[in-house]
Amino acid sequence: MKRNLLAVSIAVGALALAGCNKDEPELTTPIQQASYGIGLNMGQSLLQDGLGDIDPQALALGLQDALGSQEQRVGDEELTSAFNELQKRSQERAEALAQEALDANKKYLEENAAKDGVTSTSSGLQYEVISSGDADGPQPQADDVVVVHYEGRLLDGTVFDSSVQRGQPAELPVAGVIPGWVEVLQLMHVGDKWTVTVPAELAYGPRSPSPVIPPNSILVFDMELVGIKPREE
């Protein structure tokens, strides 16, 4: 039978088998502990996909039958239909969460834009000047490489990246960063320190490069433009 990824994940995640046993395993051997870890990871993935109502006893029964080479109790056609239904539910949940995030983003950006000292650009980017360098100092261009000290965080305060914590400014090509940074770096002068609020569409949008950054996240950066690298001849 051709199984999709969701089906495989559910089968592998059947370490909920322990839930069907009256006596729980002690989890003392490496095999038991690794098996528990696989089940734990898959259970967490199912929860994230909105499938927390999976029946652990039925899940364990499928695993038992497979490992025991027993005849399957549900036909391929029924299984395919059931898997499709689970995928549909997971997709609907993801779309609902994405819309909730977009609605929350809109409200936050409107409130933040109304704060004293916050400037909004035509793209929706927002920034607040913390301190300024020389007003006549150099500004980066799109083909420059800049030296920046920064700390990036989510709206809940979670820090997802920080050159400050690493203790070393980053050297970055202006054209090689997220759109919000491409814009704001070309507005700054060397020595400027700004707090920059980047809307999701100017950051990573619905696709995140890291599990730490949820889809459609607004990103807030404390940025200092330390310098502009000399261009090579």
In a domain, 32, yes or no: yes
In a domain, 68, yes or no: yes
Write out the residue range of the structural domain in which residue 19 sits.
Answer: 5-91
In a domain, 192, yes or no: yes
What amino acid positions are annotated as catalytic residues?
A: 150, 160-161, 178, 204, 221
Q: Are residues 209 and 141 in the same domain?
A: yes
Number of domains in the chain: 2
Q: Are residues 131 and 224 in the same domain?
A: yes
In a domain, 114, yes or no: no
Q: Are residues 143 and 183 in the same domain?
A: yes
CATH code for the domain in which residue 158 is found:
3.10.50.40
Which residues lie below 8 Å from residue 139, measured CB to CB, with a gap of 6+? Answer: 186, 187, 188, 189, 190
Q: Are residues 84 and 169 in the same domain?
A: no
Q: Are 198 and 204 in contact (CB under 8 A)?
A: no
In a domain, 155, yes or no: yes
Helix (H, G, I), strand (E, B) or coil at 131: strand
Task: Specify the higher pLDDT residue, 218 or 208.
Answer: 218
Q: What is the mean pLDDT of the chain?
A: 86
Q: Are residues 63 and 149 in the same domain?
A: no
In a domain, 194, yes or no: yes
Q: Are residues 124 and 215 in the same domain?
A: yes
Q: Tens digits of per-residue pLDDT, 37-60?
A: 888 887 888 777 767 778 888 887
Q: Are residues 79 and 129 in the same domain?
A: no
Backbone angles phi, psi at 134, to 5 degrees: -70, 125
Residue 6 pLDDT > 80: no
Q: Are 50 and 95 in contact (CB under 8 A)?
A: no
Q: Are residues 64 and 20 in the same domain?
A: yes
Q: Are residues 67 and 164 in the same domain?
A: no
Residue 217 pLDDT > 90: yes
In a domain, 215, yes or no: yes
Cα separation, 212 vs 160, in Å, equals 6
Give the Å distances, CA to CA, from 20 to 55, 61, 64. Answer: 11, 9, 11
Q: Are residues 211 and 146 in the same domain?
A: yes
Q: Are 112 and 155 in contact (CB under 8 A)?
A: no
Q: Tens digits of per-residue pLDDT, 173-208?
A: 999 999 999 999 999 999 999 999 999 999 999 888
Q: What percent of the chain stands above pLDDT 70?
A: 89
pTM of the model: 0.68
Task: Grade residue 156 by pLDDT with cuts at 50, 70 and 90.
Answer: very high
Q: Are residues 211 and 144 in the same domain?
A: yes
Q: What DSSP string runs through 47-75? A: HHTT-TT--HHHHHHHHHHHHTTPPPSS-
DSSP E strands in the chain: the ranges are: 118-120, 126-131, 145-153, 159-162, 170-173, 193-198, 219-228
Q: Are residues 224 and 126 in the same domain?
A: yes
Q: Tens digits of per-residue pLDDT, 84-125?
A: 988 888 788 878 878 888 899 999 999 999 999 999 999 999
